[in-house]
Amino acid sequence: MSVTGRPETKVSAAVVLTDASPATSLPRRRRSLAGLWFVVPFLAVFLFVLVVPVLYSLYLSVFQDKLIGGRSFVGLANYSQLFSDPKFWDGLGRVALFLAVQVPVMLGLALVAALAIDSGRLHGAPFFRMSVFLPYAVPGVVAVLMWGFMYGDQFGLAGNINKLVGHELLTPLSPQWILVAIGNIVTWEFVGYNMLIFYSALRSVPSDLYEAAAIDGAGAWRVVFSIKLPALRQAIVIATIFSIIGSFQLFNEPNILRTLIPSVIATYFTPNMYAYNLSFAGQQYAYAATLAIVMGVVTAVIAYVVQLRGSREANR
């Protein structure tokens, strides 16, 4: 669901379990400029595609493009316009609702799957691990096209089922259900990915702990609550943060479904769709940049709060 300009390799989220600080240099570590040369190529591209665009959008956001008169400095006018723009609030409210429901459901399912696969009590655990993960390898576009077809009442599964029961039982593409339908697609795409993050973290629990627990007579549930869930805390925080970022950027799913049901999904269905349509259909680049910055700040603040809460609870 990520719409990042740069495709991210988020896989390593599990790795963030480590608390090792980069600054704790070993005495033997090489002190020289040689290290810099290893980092420079990355940094050069990084500046070009990340730092400069952020600065550029900050710059754009204080200007306004007019058909007559060209670009003029307007201070914070774009921001005040945005904060009183009902379309912006409509989209923001929708992704907030989406986030509040879809993220807990998806992460809960991922957690259950990871615990089940790690429990050692499954027939064919590797099969389940692979098959639950598989949808992650499916391009988001293909996933949406596929689910869009299945949701349809022509040759979709929804249509098949409705015909079977004789009335309109399933209408995933109707205005009431569309957000649920999108949530289902996103869950399908990413539940396996999150499962794998949790599973990797579980694998890192030293087996002595389980042995000690067994000796102490702890039952399976006790082990889940006393060992496994605490061991997963950091992984859960990381997965939550990435899911929040993903939800705020929601774009692919509604944008592609829109081709099926343009009357249900508006051009400002999510803030990101709004930004896209403002700039590529409306040529309102400065206003779109403002929207992008505000969404960036909102996302960063929420991600930061989650991180803070996560680490505070860890310290309790």
Partner 1 sequence: MATTTIDPTAPRTAGTDAGSARARRVRRRGSTGPFGGPSVRLTLVMVLFALYALAPLAWLLINASKTQQSMFDSFGLWFSGKFALLDNLHQVLTYDGGIYVRWLANTILYVVVGAGGATVLATLAGYGLAKYDFPGKRAVFATVLGAIAIPGTALAVPTFLMFSQLHLTNTIWAVIVPSLVSPFGLYLVWVYALDAVPTEILEAARIDGSGELRTFLTIGLRLLTPGVVTVALFAVVATWNNYFLPLIMLNDPNLFPLTIGLQQWNLRATGVNATPIYNLVIAGSLLAIVPVVAIFLSLQRYWQSGLAAGSVKA
Closest approach, Cβ 108 to partner 1, in A, equals 12
Tell me if 33 contacts partner 1 by CB under 8 A.
yes
The CA-atom distances, in angstroms, between 76 and each of 71, 83, 175, 229, 297 are 15, 11, 35, 46, 16
Establish if 93 lies at the interface with partner 1 (CB under 8 A): no
User: How far, in Å, CA of 279 to CA of 259, rounded?
Assistant: 19
User: Is 309 near partner 1 (CB under 8 A)?
Assistant: no
Pair type for strands 70-73 and 63-66 = antiparallel
Residue 223: CB minimum distance to partner 1, A: 7
Task: Please say which residue, 73 or 221, places its beta carbon nearer to partner 1.
Answer: 221
Task: Provide long-range contacts, Cβ within 8 A and 24+ apart, for 311-316.
Answer: 311/237, 313/233, 314/233, 314/234
- Smaller CB separation from partner 1, 203 or 313: 203
Tell me the C-alpha distance between 138 and 213, whole Å. 40
CA distance 92 to 222: 40
Instruction: Tell me, residue by residue from 217 to 246, as one string, x for binding to partner 1 by CB under 8 A and - for no binding.
Output: xxxx-xx--xx-------x-----x---x-
d(CA 234, CA 314): 8
**CB 86 to partner 1: min, Å:** 20
**Beta-bridge mates of residue 70:** 66
Q: Smallest distance, Å, CB 144 to partner 1?
A: 9
**Residues whose CB falls within 8 Å of the CB of residue 180, separated by 6 or more in sequence, listed in order:** 172
Closest CA to 240 of 66, 16, 31, 46: 16
The residue to which tokens 């058909």 are assigned: 67
**Nearest CA-CA partner of 196 in 113, 312, 139, 285:** 113
Closest CB 174 distance from partner 1, rounded Å: 18
Pick one of 17, 74, 96, 264: the residue that binds partner 1 (CB under 8 A): 17
CA distance 193 to 135: 9
Judged by CB under 8 A, which stretch of 12-20, 69-77, 84-92, 165-173 contacts partner 1? 12-20
Nearer to partner 1, 31 or 167 (CB): 31
Binding residue (CB under 8 A) for partner 1 from 119, 162, 171, 267: 119
Give how many residues touch partner 1 by CB under 8 A: 143
Could you say which of 140, 172, 183, 254 contacts partner 1 (CB under 8 A)? 140
Residue 51 touches partner 1, criterion: CB under 8 A: yes
264 vs 120: CA distance, rounded Å:
46
Stretch of residues binding partner 1 (CB under 8 A), selected from 71-79, 98-106, 155-163, 173-181: 155-163
Contact string 263-302 vs partner 1 (x = CB under 8 A): --------xx--xx--xx----x--xx--xx-xx--xx--
**Nearest distance from residue 248's CB to partner 1, in Å?**
6
For residues 145 and 269, give the distance between their C-alpha atoms in angstroms, rounded to a whole number: 18
Interface characters, 195-214, with partner 1 (x: CB under 8 A): -x---xxxxxxxxxxxxxxx
Q: Is residue 103 near partner 1 by the rule CB under 8 A?
A: no
Question: Closest CB to partner 1 among 186 and 256?
Answer: 256
What does the alpha-carbon distance between residue 45 and residue 47 come to, in Å, rounded to a whole number? 5
